[in-house]
Every structure is written in C-alpha cells, then in structure tokens.
C-alpha cells in the first residue's frame, strides 16, 4: 500500500518542506513570505489529520503508512522550527528541546518495538496536547504580525515555550513508562 491516497497525503508533508523553507528566499515582501509560509504550513499540517481519517475510512491502513506518518510530522515541525530559529522568532534552546525529544522518543519507540514492548510507549494524550500546542504556535510564529488584534509573535512565543514544557513532560512520561522494560533489559 505504498501509493494509496493517505500515503500520498503523508508524502506531501515531506515534499512541502523545501517549499515552506524556499518561500523565505523569494524576493517578496516579508509579509507576503510570512503569509505564504503560514498558509502552506497549515494546509500541509492538516494533511496529518486527513491522511489518518482517509486511511481508516478507506481501509487503507498499512505498516508503511504507520511508519511514514510520524516521520513526516517530525520533518515538517523540525524544518519549521529551524526556519524560525534562523528568523530569530524561536529561541534555539526551545528548538533543541523539541527536536531532541523527537529524536529520543523515536529511538525509544524503535527500541521498545524491537524488544516487543511498544505498548508501553504508545502515544499518550500528553503527547497529543504537546503536538496541538506546537501546531498552533508554529503558524503564529511564521505569520509574525497582528491577526484579529492578536500579536501572533507574542502568542506564538508563549505557546512554543508551553510546547517545550509539554515536550519535556511528555518525554518524562514516556521514559517512566519504558523504565521497567529498560531496567529488565539492562540487568
């Protein structure tokens, strides 16, 4: 099931990365670049929900899709964070926390799957809340202007710091859940 509609939607998130990054190199007004990047990020981020919905609805779930979906999400978020660090809209410390957690938890999940204990690090609501906060913060920071009376940079910075706190918290949660298995294997 490599070329199903849900998998193609997942691939679009990966293909979107150079498009979103590339917008900031175009000879356009800053406001136009910000708006274009924000809209693209929001559209491509929405494919995360849509591909999962369609995979279940069309009975096109697959092991490859289950693997590629979180990878695409992480690539999209990490690329956006790197752009935002470059634009000095996100503190490098926040980006390191979020990107480092994604790498660490992905490695933990891979190892736990290898030893047959993947259920202990299954996706938890805390991780979903962290992702939701991130996915609101990033467009606010990409837009970087006033929207409906809101200073999106200020709100985005508060939200991305909240996402960083939730990132550490959720990582602690996953490590705590995995700890019994880790202890059993290390002895």
96-155 pLDDT, tens digit per residue, is 999 999 999 888 888 888 877 777 777 778 888 999 999 999 999 999 999 999 999 999
156 contact partners, CB below 8 Å, separation of at least 6: 89, 137, 138, 139, 140, 141, 143, 144
**Residue 99 sits in which domain range?**
5-186
Looking at per-residue confidence, does 12 or 180 come out higher? Answer: 12
- Report the predicted TM-score, pTM, of the whole model to 2 decimal places: 0.90
Mean pLDDT over all residues of the chain? 91
CATH number, position 162: 1.20.120.1760
For tokens 């509609």, the residue is: 5
Total count of domains within the chain: 1
Say whether pLDDT at 162 is over 90: yes
For tokens 């990878």, the residue is: 71
- pLDDT for the residue 184: 80
CA distances from 108 to 60, 118, 134, 186 (A): 27, 9, 21, 14
């Amino acid at each position: 099931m490599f070329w199903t509609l849900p998998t193609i939607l997942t691939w679009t998130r990966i293909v979107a990365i150079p498009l979103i990054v590339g917008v900031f190199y175009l000879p356009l007004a800053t406001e136009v670049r910000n708006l274009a990047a924000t809209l693209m990020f929001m559209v491509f981020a929405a494919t995360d929900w849509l591909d999962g919905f369609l995979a279940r609805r069309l009975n096109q779930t697959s092991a490859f899709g289950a693997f590629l979906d979180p990878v695409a999400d992480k690539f999209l978020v990490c690329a956006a964070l790197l752009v935002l660090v470059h634009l000095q809209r996100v503190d490098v410390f926040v980006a390191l926390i979020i990107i480092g957690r994604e790498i660490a938890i992905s490695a933990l999940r891979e190892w736990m799957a290898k030893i047959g204990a993947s259920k202990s690090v299954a996706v938890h609501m805390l991780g979903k809340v962290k992702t939701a906060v991130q996915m609101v913060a990033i467009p606010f920071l990409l837009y970087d202007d006033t929207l409906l009376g809101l200073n999106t940079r200020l709100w985005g910075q508060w939200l991305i710091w909240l996402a960083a706190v939730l990132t550490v918290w959720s990582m602690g949660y996953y490590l705590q859940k995995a700890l019994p298995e880790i202890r059993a294997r290390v002895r």
